[in-house]
Structure 1
Amino acid sequence: MSILQTHNLSRRYNQTEVLKNVILDISMGETLAVIGPSGAGKSTLIRLLDLLESPSSGSITLFNQTVSNKTDRLPLRRRMAFVHQKPLVFSTSVFENVAQPLRWRGMKNTFIEERVTDALALVKMDSYAGRHAKTLSGGETQRVALARALVTHPEIIFLDEPTANLDPLATTMVEELISSVIQARNLTVVMTTHDLAQGQRLADRIGVLVAGELLQLGKPSEIFMSPACRAVAEFIGVENIWNGTVTGSDNGLFTAAVNGHIIQAVGYFNIEDTVDLFIRPEDIIISITDDRTSARNRLPGTITRLSLVSPLVRLELDCGGLPLMAVVTQQAATDLGLVIGKHVFASMKATAIHTAKGNCPGQ
C-alpha cells in the first residue's frame, strides 16, 4: 500500500533546476535510500517530501492526500519526522531535548515521561537522560536526534545523511539502531546517503539521483549488479566501462567492436547501436596460458600495475589499448607469478558483461 508518491516532482532555484521530474511510489513499511554524489539534489528532495519546501512543479501525495499550496501541511507533517545531517540540540538535558516535540503538542507530563523514556531506551540513550545535551559526542547527538524524531511515533521518518559526520564506530552503532528501530516500529523510512554500502545494508530499494534526475530505482542487487546506464555505473564504482558498436546480434547474444576488439555479451540490440558495457573486476578470470574455457571473451594483456588490497591483489592490464581492471587472491597472484610486465589472458563470460544503450531512463 502506497504511503508517499511523487509525480514529475521538480524544484528550481532562480534559473537552476535542482530536481527534474522525480517519480516515486513508496510503500508503507518500506525503507528507500536515495544515493548520489554531493550536489545531486538529495537534501532538496527529502525536504520537499517532508513538506519543508514546495516544488516548482509536479505533485506529492501523502497518506492518499495530494498536497497543494492551499493544503494545511501541519497535520501531515505531524505524522512524519525529520533527522537532519547536522542535528541541533537545545541547551538543556537529553530528556528535555527529546521531550520538546511533545511539549509543543501540549502533551501531559505523565505521557511525556513514558514516551521519552521509551524513545531513549530504543536508541540506547536511557542512561543519558540527565546529561546536558551540549556535552554529547557526534554519535550520541545523532542518537538523541533519532529519539526526538521517534518520540512522536511518526509513520514516516526522513533521514538526511544520518552518519555523514560520524567516525566508523559511531556510524556502525547508528546504522544498527536505525535497522532495529525500523523493525521494532515497522516505520516507513526515506534516507539520503552518499555511502553506497550503507544503502545496501539498510534499504529495501535504492534510488540513484545524479544531477537532479532519478536515473535508476530498484533493489540494491539490481542497482549494483545491473546499472541502467553509464552515469549510474560510474557513481557506484564500476571500474571497467567500455563503449562499443554492435556488429552482430542473434537471439539475445550480440557482438560489439570495442577499441579494435570484438566482445560478446547478452542483450537485445540492433546492428550499429552504440552500447556501454560494464564488467566488474571480480568477474574477470586471469590465466597465464591461452587454454580455452567456456568464457566467450578472452583478451591477451600485459600487467601495468599491481596493488595489494588485502586479501586481494588488484591488477591493471593493457589489453591492446583496452584498459582492464581485475582482482585475484594473493595466493593466486603468487601461484601465477604475477608481476608488472607479465603477459596474461583475461577471460569474461558473456553473462558477466552488463550492458546499456544510451542515456539512463529519464535523461
Structure 2
Amino acid sequence: MLGIAGLSKRLGDFTLTDVNLTVADAEYFIILGPTGAGKTILLETIAGIYAPDAGTITLDGLDVTATDPKDREVGMVYQDYMLFPHLTVAENIGFGLLQRKTEPARIRESVQEIAGLLGIGHLLERTPGTLSGGEQQRTAIARALVLRPRVLLLDEPLSALDAVTRDRLREELKAVHRATGTTVVHITHHFEDVFALADRVAVMQDGRIVQTGTPDEIFRRPATEFVAAFTGMENVYCGVSRVRNGEAAIDLGEIVVRTVTAIEGDVCVGIRPEEVILSRQPFESSAANTFQGTVTAIRHNGVFSRVVVDTGLPFVAVLTPQSVARLGLVEGEPAYVTFKASAVHVFKR
C-alpha cells in the first residue's frame, strides 16, 4: 500500500540513506530506533513536509513523491498534540473537514463518530487546556482520523504520557485500527508498543533501515550486533565460529558456546537474558551450554531481578525476586549458567 524505494534526504549534518520499505494495506507498521536515528525525518518525508533528495514514495502504486502534502491523504500526529488552544475538542477534530468545506451536518456526524470511537465523545465542548495528556492525544488522533487518511503517521504518540495512560491508549489504538482498517506507520523507542500493536517492525540506525520483520523476528533473530543490543539481548559477545556437520563451536575467548548454525568465521552471538537459566548446582537438562561462574551483581527492579554471573564472560539473567531467594543466589557465591543451543543467535560480525 505504501512503498518507499531508495529514499535519501540530507538535513544539516544528518542523512537518511537509501531507505526501502513496503507497508501493506491495513498493516500496523512500527519503526523502532534510538533518538537521533532519523525516524521523525522519515515520517515527515513520507508526509511531504520534506522533499527527498533521491528515491520515490508511492501510495497504492501511485507516485506521490512530488505531490503536495495536503493532497497525499496522509494524516500525521505528533507526540506534543499541536491542538488549537482556542477551539473546542469538536472544533479541533472537525478543523480539517471545515477546511475541505464539508457540510456542517456531515462534520458534526463525523466528529461524533470518531470521538465516540476514541472515548472522548463527552469532551467535545471542552478546550484542550482543560484536558489530560491522554485526552489531548486522543483528540489529536481523532483530528487526523476524521479525514479518513490512506495512511496515518504517528510520531511517538505515547511518549509524553504516564505508564497507565500509555497502556490504555495502546489498547484504544489497537481497537481503532481494527475498526477503521487504516494503514498505520508508528515510530517509537518503546518495546511495549511493538508487542502490543505491530504487525511488522523496521529498526533504524543512523538514518538507515537495518532490519525489517515481525516483532518475534526482530527480537529473537536480530540481524546485527546493534539490533541485538538495542532490543535488549544484552548477552552479546563476538568470537570465531567453526562448523562441523551443521553444529558450531563458537570460541568466545573465555568460553566456547555450542549451537546449530551454518555461519563460520568471525561472528557475534546473542542470548536473551530470559533464556538464561541459573542454578546453584549443575542443571540437569539437554541444554548444550552450561558454565560455572560467580554471581557478581543482583539488581532488584520491581517485578524482576537482574542477576549477573561471571563465567569468564558476564551473563545477565532475568528472574523473579522469589526465584532469586528460592535458588539462594548471593553476590560473591558460585552459580551455574545454562542455556539451550536454540537460544544462541549467531550473526556475522
TM-score over 0.5 (shorter chain): yes
Which deviations, in whole Å up to 9, do the C-alpha atoms of 1:110-156 show, x marking residues without a partner? 11111111111111111111112232221111111111111112221
Q: Given the alignment, which residue of 191, 200, 203 partners 1:196?
A: 191
Aligned match of 1:254: 248
Q: CA deviation at 1:5?
A: 0.4
Within 5 Å, give how 1:105-254 maps onto structure 2: 105-246=100-241, 248-254=242-248
Kept after mapping to 2: 8 A contact 1:92/1:134: no
- Give the alignment of 1:31-46 within 5 angstroms: 31-46=28-43
User: Greater CA deviation, 181-190 or 306-315?
Assistant: 306-315
Aligned counterparts of 2:326 and 2:133: Cα–Cα separation in 1: 47
- Give 2:80's aligned residue: 86
**Alignment equivalent of 2:328, drawn from 324, 328, 337:** 337
Match of 1:328 in 2: 319
Select 1:304's aligned residue among 296, 305, 308.
Answer: 296
Q: Which amino acid aligns with 1:13?
A: L
Aligned to 1:59: 56
* Cα distance, 1:293–1:11 mapped onto 2, change above 3 Å: same
SS of match in other structure, 1:301: strand
Supply the distance in 1 between the matched residues of 2:131 and 2:283 (Cα, whole angstroms): 62
Which structure 2 residue ranges, 5 or more long, are not aligned? Answer: none
SS at match of 1:198: helix
Match for residue 5 of structure 2? 7
Cα distance in 2 for residues equivalent to 1:101 and 1:160:
19
- Across the two proteins, how many residue pairs are aligned to each other? 348
Counterpart secondary structure, 1:100: helix
CA distance in 1, matches of 2:191, 2:294: 32
Give the letter for the 1:269 counterpart. I
Alignment partners' CA distance in 1, 2:81 and 2:303: 38
Q: Note if 1:269 corresponds to 2:263.
A: yes
Three-state SS of the structure 1 residue aligned to 2:248 is strand
Are the equivalent residues in 2 in contact too, given 1:252–1:266 (CA < 8 A)?
yes
2:283–2:338 Cα contact (<8 Å) kept = no
Change (3 A) 1:107 1:45: same
How far, CA to CA, are the matches of 2:188 and 2:303 in structure 1? 28
Q: How far did 1:161 drift?
A: 0.4
Change (3 A) 1:170 1:35: same
What is the aligned counterpart of 1:293 among 285, 290, 295?
Answer: 285
Indicate conservation of the 8 Å contact 1:10/1:17, yes or no.
Answer: no
Hey, what does 2:348 align to over in structure 1? 357
Q: Distance in 1 between matches of 2:302 and 2:23?
A: 39
Q: Residue 333 of structure 1: CA displacement?
A: 2.9
Distance change in 2, residues 1:252/1:135 (3 Å): same
Q: Distance in 2 between matches of 1:169 and 1:311?
A: 16
Map of 2:95 onto structure 1: 100
TM-score by length of 1: 0.91
The alignment's C-alpha RMSD in Å is: 1.6
Judging changes above 3 Å, is the alpha-carbon distance between structure 1 residues 64 and 314 closer, same or farther for their aligned structure 2 residues?
same
> In the aligned structure 2, how far is the partner of 1:73 from the partner of 1:55?
13
Q: Secondary structure at the match of 1:8?
A: strand
What's the CA shift for 1:175?
1.4
Inter-partner Cα distance in structure 2 for 1:345 and 1:124: 51
Change (3 A) 1:173 1:65: same
Alpha-carbon separation, structure 2, partners of 1:99 and 1:209: 34
8 Å CA contact retained: 2:56, 2:63: yes
Q: 1:68 to 1:139 in 2, by over 3 A?
A: closer
Give the equivalent residue in structure 2 for 1:283: 275
TM-score, normalisation: structure 2: 0.95
Q: What secondary structure sits across from 1:165 in the alignment? A: coil
Q: State the Cα deviation string for residues 81-133 of structure 1 (Å, max 9, x = none).
A: 11112122211211111111011001111111111111111111111111122
Relative to structure 1, the CA distance from residue 111 to residue 312 in structure 2 (aligned partners, 3 Å threshold; closer, same or farther) is: closer
> What is the CA–CA distance in structure 2 between the aligned matches of 1:12 and 1:239, rounded to whole Å?
32
- Tell which deviates more after alignment, 303-312 or 142-151: 303-312
In structure 2, distance between residues paired with 1:291 and 1:224: 26
Q: Which runs of 5+ in 1 are unaligned?
A: 359-363
Aligned mates of 1:330, 1:98 — CA distance in 2: 47
Deviation digits for residues 251-292 of structure 1 (CA, Å, limit 9, x no counterpart): 32111111232111221123xx11111011221222223365
Among 308, 318, 336, the residue aligned to 2:310: 318
